[in-house]
Amino acid sequence: MDNKFLVIPYSPFSIVMQLLEGSFDKRALEQNYGACMKAAILTGYGGADKIEIRDLEKPAIGDNEILIRTAATTVTQVDNIFRSGDHLFARMATGVIKPKISVMGTELAGWVESVGKDITGFKPGEAVIADSGTNYGAHAEYVKITPEDPVTLKPENMSFPEAAALSYGGLTALSFLQDTAKLQAGQRMLILGASGSVGSFAVQIAKAIGAHVTAVASGDNAKLVLSLGADEFVDYRNTDITQLKDTFDVIFDSVGKYRFGRLKPLLNDNGIFMTTDLSPNILWNMILTGMVGNKKAKIAFTGLNTFGQKMEGLQKLLQFYEDGKLKPVIDRTFTLDEIRKAHEYVSTGRKKGNVVVTVSEEGRV
């Protein structure tokens, strides 16, 4: 009898031996036992302590789906709202009693890991920008992109943190300004929360369109907002916004802090007030102003945009970027293991632009 150890192919002992011999086949192990990935799991509603880093099985893809290895993603105010569970309207989407979304996050940048047999536009190794939409899952090492999710090649001159921070704030702002307000060159616009993710994109998009922009934020952010192109700046800490002398064609409350009734006097005839806050107040005023009066209250349901609308919007944002008219604002960067800290920082309400989470070492550049 041959006097050798009986070695189970993928026992811990055999893996060590293969590593020493240089013959370890990671992909073969994955095929036999399934591949794991690291992900940030939402274990329940509450504070940042409800987020835990765990190992999950890597997503399997279908014939018309793409698997992306994540370089970077973000923690947005929406992630913060979903995690806290404090908003009734949000719970209607995320689960009334407990979260039905285990891995949050929608916007990301990374590399194509694999593609289904029906995918022709992408190949493994290509750097891409994507948004997983209502499938979520971006706070993980691998993300599955379905046919309903926008994905496009990342420009070589755009960093992974910038690319990861493009879709949520950029597409939201673009949809409000372009589709809902139908903003035109020469119009006067007031943007509230101009230093946040959506607000900072709104300032840049409005200027790219040719509007005159008055931006509202805290005085600490004046330099940032003016550098984005704002024509005028108002510090809400020492100015009562409702008492401004100017009037506007479009008012955009990008942080959902104001109600239509308070700012209606600042609207010109046929002016439009928009907010990102889905509340009974805005829904009622949408109905009411849709029937009477020439000043309108509106909200954009950007999550319901079609795949075509999202792809067209993403391409427009990238064109603005290439033309030097738009640049994602990045406040702080955390690693995936530090994602609780990212949530805690977003919860303060003091972030400027976007908070990025790098998932891989290469995702930092």
Render 221-283 in DSSP notation, one character per residue. GHHHHHHTT-SEEEETTTS-GGG-S--EEEEEETTS---HHHHGGGEEEEEEEEES---HHHH
Q: Does residue 328 lie in a domain region? A: no
Q: Per this entry, what is the length of the chain? A: 365
Number of domains in the chain: 2
Strands 151-153 and 188-192, sheet pairing: unpaired
Q: Does residue 327 lie in a domain region? A: no
In terms of domains, do 178 and 161 share one?
Answer: no
In terms of domains, do 83 and 118 share one?
Answer: yes
Which of 172-192 are b and which e, b meaning 16 or more Cβ less than 10 Å from the residue's Cβ? bbbbbbbebbebeeebbbbbb
- Domain finish residue from 146, 165, 184: 165
Question: How far from 305 is each of 143, 176, 287, CA to CA, in Å?
Answer: 21, 12, 21
In terms of domains, do 151 and 71 share one?
Answer: yes
Q: Over the Cα atoms of the chain, what is R_g?
A: 23
Tokens of 359: 């998932």
Q: Does residue 346 lie in a domain region? A: no
In terms of domains, do 229 and 180 share one?
Answer: yes
CATH code for the domain in which residue 292 is found:
3.40.50.720
Name residue, tokens 């916007």. 107
Alpha helices (runs of H) in the chain, residue ranges in sequence order:
12-21, 26-33, 77-84, 88-94, 160-164, 167-174, 197-209, 222-227, 260-263, 280-291, 307-322, 339-347
Boundaries of domain holding 89: 38-165
In terms of domains, do 174 and 159 share one?
Answer: no
In terms of domains, do 180 and 152 share one?
Answer: no
Q: In this structure, are residues 110 and 137 in contact, taking their beta carbons and an 8 Å threshold?
A: no
- Domain finish residue from 261, 287, 304: 304
Q: Does residue 318 lie in a domain region? A: no
CATH code for the domain in which residue 81 is found:
3.90.180.10
- Domain finish residue from 118, 141, 165: 165
CA 80 – CA 89 distance, rounded (Å): 14
Q: What is the pLDDT of residue 75?
A: 97
In terms of domains, do 176 and 66 share one?
Answer: no
In terms of domains, do 295 and 175 share one?
Answer: yes
Taking the chain (365 residues) in consecutive chunks of 10 residues, what is each chunk's mean pLDDT?
A: 40 51 52 74 96 95 96 95 88 87 95 95 96 94 94 96 96 96 98 97 98 97 97 96 96 94 96 92 92 93 86 96 97 97 95 96 77
In terms of domains, do 57 and 156 share one?
Answer: yes
In terms of domains, do 42 and 128 share one?
Answer: yes
In terms of domains, do 234 and 149 share one?
Answer: no
Render 289-306 in DSSP notation, one character per residue. HHHS-SSEEE---GGG--
Q: Does residue 335 lie in a domain region? A: no
CA 339 – CA 357 distance, rounded (Å): 7
CA 68 – CA 66 distance, rounded (Å): 6
Q: Does residue 106 lie in a domain region? A: yes
Q: Does residue 257 lie in a domain region? A: yes
In terms of domains, do 297 and 181 share one?
Answer: yes
Q: What is the pLDDT of residue 3?
A: 39
Q: Does residue 56 lie in a domain region? A: yes
- Find, among 97, 104, 56, 59, the residue nearest to 77 by Cα: 104
Name residue, tokens 């795949």. 307
